[in-house]
Structure 1
Amino acid sequence: MGHVTTDDGVKLYFEEVGEGTPIVFVHEYAGDHRSWEPQMRHFGRRYRCITYAARGYAPSDIPESPEAYGQDRAREDIRSILDGLGIDAAHIVGLSMGGFATLHFGFHHPDRALSLTVAGCGYGADADRREQFRKETEATADRIAAEGMDVVGKAYAIGPTRVQFETKDPRGWKEFETQLCEHSTLGSANTMRGVQARRPSLYDLVDQMNALTVPTLIVNGDEDDPCLDVGNFMKRMIPSAALSVLPKTGHTMNIEEPALFNAVVEDFFHTVECGRWGLRDPRSTTGAIITAGPVNDK
């Protein structure tokens, strides 16, 4: 455990375990570095695993201004972790807010990513719900600032894509809720305003997706409704992408279904490391339904 310092002087706390090919885990808004414990324990047996607390999440620094937060900052903070630990390239695994950062990292630093796992990524992307998402993020940030994260966290933990976790694993969900309520009020409000509310819609990033050739795995829970359509969209737009959907699963999939999540991601890593993860066969995108082309009866 220790800290690395970003280009703008923010200290990011990290923990690591294991040896071998590196993996960097990037947490969601409602999580922190502790959210990846099932993955640190599993993958740490064969990989060098790094998890870190994003800016605004103790014990990392908590900048006072919302302007110190943003999608570009989140992307470059991944690079700072790699640079600070002397890592040339790693498997990057991100959930939700961390999934957005992971995807953008792949756009801007493809040479630093052995692969990209983009999980639970899509909130606020739909064009017809952008304004609703903006209003909800602003209202949530205001409520956090007024009431404190120890209060708002309890409501956030039982959102419509998190009740699945509570139903399946009340003990695990309670640990998640407790950790969420421990988050910094200032950091949580600023992250909501600076990162969540301002990030671009994924539907506006088609050119970047079309150009992405880093091996990419998109993972969604089938009851994480805000991510399902955009997950399919990313699968179609990214030529190096595959899509995995976990059944009867919500948003917090890596701790809700850790064994299943780990198995899917581990198989992805193995395929990439064996050199068998190619781009999508163009014959599968011709637009035909049954045959490859016109049928010749002669």
Structure 2
Amino acid sequence: MGYITASDGVKLYYEEAGSGPLLVFVHEFGGSHWSWEPQLNYFSRRYRCVTFAARGYAPSDIPDDVELYSQARAADDIADVIKGLGESKAHIVGLSMGGFACLHAGLRHPDAILSVVAAGAGYGAEKQLESYFQGVSELVAKNFSEMGAEKFAPTYASGASRVQFQNKDPRGWQLFAERLAKHSSVGAANTMRGVQVRRPSLYDLEAQLAAMQAPTLVIVGDEDDHCLQPGIFLKRTIPRCGLSVFPKTGHTLNLEEPALFNSTVAEFLAQVELNKWDARDPRANPAQIMRTD
């Protein structure tokens, strides 16, 4: 464990386990560096696993200035962590807010990214719901600011795509909610306003995503409704992209279904390292139903 100083001077706390190729985990809004414990336990047998707390999440720095939070900055922080660890390249795995950050890191820092796993990445991307998402995000930020994390956490943790986790693993969900209640109210509000409210829709990045060459795996839960269509969009847009849909699963994928998540990501990484995760075979023409000649 230790700290890495980002290129703008913000200190980021990280923990690591294992040795081998670098595998960096990037957490969601409702989590922190602790959210990846089931993955560090599993992947550290063959990778140098690193998880870090995003800016705004203790024990990383919590800037008071919302302008120090952005989608671009979140992507750059990933690159700064890789560099700060003395590495030049890494596989990166992100959930939700972290999934968005990983996709943007693939766009902004292609030379540093070996592969991208983007799980539960889709909220706010749907164009018809863009303004609604921004309004809800602002309300969430206001609740964290005015009510505080301890009081608002139980409400946030009981969202429509979180109850699946609660039903399957009540103890795990309770720990998630208790840890969320200890988040910095300032950091949560600034992250929501600086990153989530302002980030561009994935659909507005179609040209850039179509040019991204990093092997990519998109994972969504089939009850995480606002990630399903964006997940299909990413599959159809990013050249070397696969899509995995977990059945009867919500948003907190890596904690809700840790064994399935780990095995899915492990298979993806194995294929990437063997140069087997290629672009779609051009013969698999989506316009074709059955071949007739």
SS in 2 for 1:284: coil
- Write the deviation string for residues 199-245 of structure 1: whole angstroms up to 9, x where unpaired: 00001011011101111000001110010001001000111000001
Partner of 2:3: 3
Distance 1:238 1:79 in 2: 21
Q: Residues 127-166 of structure 1 correspond to what in structure 2 (within 5 A)?
A: 127-166=127-166
Partner of 1:195: 195
* Displacement after TM superposition at 1:282 (Å): 1.6
Residue 13 (1) aligns with residue 7 (2): no
Residue 30 (1) aligns with residue 26 (2): no
Q: What residue ranges of structure 1 are gaps of 5+ in the alignment?
A: none
* Displacement after TM superposition at 1:2 (Å): 0.3
* Displacement after TM superposition at 1:277 (Å): 1.1
Matched residue count? 293
Give the aligned residue type for 2:44.
G
Larger deviation: 235-244 or 281-290? 281-290
Partner of 1:60: 60
Give the aligned residue type for 2:206.
V
Give the aligned residue type for 2:183.
H
Give the aligned residue type for 1:5.
T
Q: C-alpha root-mean-square deviation of aligned residues, in Å? A: 0.8
TM-score by length of structure 2 reads: 0.99
Partner of 1:268: 268
Partner of 2:96: 96
* Displacement after TM superposition at 1:286 (Å): 5.5
Give the aligned residue type for 1:9.
G
Residue 242 (1) aligns with residue 217 (2): no
SS in 2 for 1:223: coil
Distance 1:177 1:28 in 2: 13
Larger deviation: 279-288 or 72-81? 279-288
Distance 1:145 1:277 in 2: 44
* Displacement after TM superposition at 1:188 (Å): 0.2
Partner of 2:181: 181
Distance 2:285 2:228 in 1: 20
Distance 1:71 1:236 in 2: 23
TM-score by length of structure 1 reads: 0.97
- Write the deviation string for residues 159-204 of structure 1: whole angstroms up to 9, x where unpaired: 0000000000000101100111110000000000000100000010
Partner of 1:224: 224
Give the aligned residue type for 1:185.
S
Residue 118 (1) aligns with residue 118 (2): yes
Partner of 2:282: 282
* Displacement after TM superposition at 1:127 (Å): 1.1
Give the aligned residue type for 1:59.
P
- Write the deviation string for residues 5-58 of structure 1: whole angstroms up to 9, x where unpaired: 011110000000000011000000000000000000000111100000000000
Distance 1:142 1:157 in 2: 16
Distance 2:282 2:202 in 1: 23
* Displacement after TM superposition at 1:285 (Å): 2.8
- Write the deviation string for residues 261-294 of structure 1: whole angstroms up to 9, x where unpaired: 0000000000111121111112223622111xxx
Give the aligned residue type for 1:70.
S
SS in 2 for 1:282: coil
